Structure 1
Amino acid sequence: MKHFFDFIPLIIFFVLYKTQDIYVATWALIVTTIIHMMVTWIRYNKVDKIQIITTVLVTVFGGLTLFFQDDSFIKWKVTIIYALCAGGLLISQFMGKPLIKSMLGQELTLSNEVWRNINFAWIIFFYVMAIVNIYIAYTLPLDVWVNFKVFGFFFLTLIYIFATGVYIYSHMPKDTVLPKKRKK
């Protein structure tokens, strides 16, 4: 349920873009993202760093979009978020403590090499997504960018999560993959 709740600002943005325009949708995105962060704080008594960063970027770039009546600013927000995610993972990689491992390491037992590979794969994914966003945002019509922002990024991320899961499964210790048979 929490994951659906995370998509409400994006859904509202999409609906208002389709029924109104980019500026009404951007205004709604700013408001709903701020409300989403406040509700998350009230409900869970904490807010993830990425949610804070996203809220700040939505507010700043959405505000610039509205102030200058120029949709270029809101398009950059997506690229900056992906670049920041990639940058955070890259820094953790150089520090020898892959961020992916700190996020998933309690549930999974994998070698340090596998964690580095997963971390590096996500670095590449986020940088590619940042570049794809810029390409689509500035070479294709606004309508294509909005559709891709809402659906394309979501499905590409799901596919990448699935591929990561397959990679993890193939590198899990064999005794944790298959439960041992009980003797009767």
Structure 2
Amino acid sequence: MTQDVNVRTTPAMQARKGWYPFNAEQTINILSEFGPLVTMFVVNAVAGIEAGTWALIVTTLMAIGVMFYMFHRPPIFPLIASSVTIAFGTLTLLTGDPMWVQIKVTIFNALFAVFLIGGLFVKHNFFQYVFEKTFRYTDEGWNKFTWSFAFFFILTAIANEYVRRTFHDDQSYLLMGYEMSGVNVWILFKIAIVLPVSGLYAWVLTRLMQKYRLPDPAHD
């Protein structure tokens, strides 16, 4: 018969959580989202969109493998996002059109925001279901957490679509002294703006959510 083991939080762990509130699983999830994009940016700049898309797909598959190896279970949200990335990356390879990789963010973020909001209306909070073993919040806290991320997904979908439509792949743009294609401008936007803003947003939201946090189970 097995027993659950509760890990005591040491002062050093509490201090670390004060400035870095993400655990190992969340850190790997973040890296699995943006690591393939960084690889695509570099490869696309050197060898073109087809090679860059292959790099995106291969590194995404590698990220899925790492997540399975580390946690011995399918991480639901990253797995969904990675599967969509592979599907749209394959469409780009088949058609030769980078639009599929770019528009994936718009479609996925917008639909996921609708999914989150719909879940709230039918009293099925997706984030609570997925993360309740990582975070312990009140029902009010989970609802505010989910509403906040739903609106954030909508804003990132709008921003992604604006950049995608503004910077075209058949044109060159001079940014920071470098000549870039529209795809590389889009990838740079994801890495240099969306990545730090997403991290900052998640950090601030996690800090704000502390007032809704439930006490940890008592140790035996």
Category of TM-score, reference length = shorter chain: 0.7 to 0.9
1:1-184 counterparts in 2 under 5 A? Answer: 3=27, 6=32, 7-106=34-133, 108-140=135-167, 141-172=182-213
Larger relative contact order (CA 8 Å, sep ≥ 6): 2
TM-score normalised by structure 1 residue count: 0.79
* Greater shift in the superposed pair: 110-119 or 1-10: 1-10
- How far 1:58 sits from its partner (Å)? 2.1
Contiguous gaps of at least 5 residues in structure 2: 1-23, 168-181, 216-220
TM-score normalised by structure 2 residue count: 0.68
Q: 1:99 to 1:27 in 2, by over 3 A?
A: same
Distance 2:137 2:118 in 1: 21
Distance 1:43 1:104 in 2: 17
- How far 1:100 sits from its partner (Å)? 2.8
More helix by share: 1
Distance 1:126 1:11 in 2: 21
Partner SS, residue 47 of structure 1: coil
Q: 1:113 to 1:29 in 2, by over 3 A?
A: same
State the number of aligned residues: 174
Contiguous gaps of at least 5 residues in structure 1: 177-184
**RMSD of the alignment, in Å?**
2.5
Percent identical: 26
Distance 1:157 1:42 in 2: 26
